[in-house]
Amino acid sequence: MSIAITEQPNYAAYSVEELEDVLENIDKQAFPERYQAAKNELAAKRATLPPENDTDSAHQDEHFTRPKWSELHPITRISNGTFLVLIGALIVSAFTNFIVINAWLNNSTWAIVLFTFVYCAFYYLSISIDKRQAQFVMKDWRGKVTIFTMPFLGLIFTWNFIDRALPYTLHLASGKQETELKFAYEKGSGSKHCRHSLLLKESGTLSDGRLCLNQSEHKRLPNKGWVYVKGSESGFGFDIEGYRFR
């Protein structure tokens, strides 16, 4: 009577992928020793893999960690710095009651188009020449969507910067005089930062504006009327500091 002896597979000759396949399909109950041997060999092989092939550590760090500022290409630094300035301009515009002069708005279209083109050019150039930046942008669906929507986003950000934040900044740095102006108004719809607003109609050299009121004051006013607005006026616009009704 002869007894058949099955040789132990030489797992040392198996690749990582082959060992993973063995562990997924082997019968642990029938071949516990083989299972443990394959498991040990897989652990040993993974420990010897170079860092760039380790998908659980280095790969994740490379693709999902924001690059340090010092690691970015100069073009990327310009692009990211400009983006931060544009975001700051949005915040400034949301919390100021500044009315820009019509002359500025009537002549700003070319500047908005030019600035949008330059910003988008730097943005796409940074992705094409800076590998770390490209990997970070492309790591999820939000970054991929930005690739296609950046011209539109850039136009919105630039419009706010050129037509609102920039003239306000120049107003603060220029000579001003305190004055009181009369505006026709009508009640407007609310927003997150101005829930009860009055829309101020264009007056003289000034464009349309907005005045934020408290709820009780807004409620008792008629839908249309006149308001006397106090503030500082310069060659760039009018900064609202107070108001009164007759």
Residue 93 has phi, psi (to 5 degrees) of: -65, -30
pLDDT in the model for residue 89 = 94
pLDDT in the model for residue 151 = 92
**Residue partners of 66: CB distance under 8 A and separation at least 6:** 136
The residues pairing with 197 across neighbouring beta strands, listed in sequence order, are: 188, 212
pLDDT in the model for residue 231 = 94
pLDDT in the model for residue 82 = 95
Indicate the helix (H) or strand (E) that contains 187: strand 177-188
Task: Give the model confidence (pLDDT) of 144-203 as tens digits.
Answer: 898 899 999 999 999 999 999 999 999 999 999 999 999 999 988 777 777 888 999 988
pLDDT in the model for residue 94 = 84
Name the pairing type of β-strands 224-233 and 209-212: unpaired
CB–CB of 108/151 below 8 Å? no
Residue 41 has phi, psi (to 5 degrees) of: -65, -40
Enter the DSSP assignment of 12.
G
70-90 core/surface letters (b: 16 or more CB in 10 A; e: else)? eebbebbbbbbebbeebeebe
pLDDT in the model for residue 6 = 60
What long-range pairs does 137-142 form, CB within 8 A, spacing at least 24? 139/63, 139/64
Dihedral sign for Cα atoms in the order 119, 121, 124, 130: negative
Query: And the tokens for 128?
Result: 């094409």
pLDDT in the model for residue 63 = 44
pLDDT in the model for residue 104 = 96
150-186 core/surface letters (b: 16 or more CB in 10 A; e: else)? beebbbebbbbbbbbbbbbeebeeeebeeeebebebe
pLDDT in the model for residue 110 = 96
pLDDT in the model for residue 77 = 93
Alpha-carbon distance of 21 to 24, in angstroms, equals 5
The residues pairing with 182 across neighbouring beta strands, listed in sequence order, are: 228
CB–CB of 205/101 below 8 Å? yes
Mean pLDDT by 10 residues, the chain (246 residues): 60 85 84 86 81 47 63 90 94 90 95 96 92 83 88 94 95 93 88 82 89 88 92 95 87
pLDDT in the model for residue 58 = 45
Alpha-carbon distance of 135 to 132, in angstroms, equals 5
Helical segments of 48-139, H only: 58-64, 74-94, 102-106, 109-129, 131-137
Dihedral sign for Cα atoms in the order 203, 206, 207, 212: negative
**Residue partners of 4: CB distance under 8 A and separation at least 6:** none
Enter the DSSP assignment of 213.
-
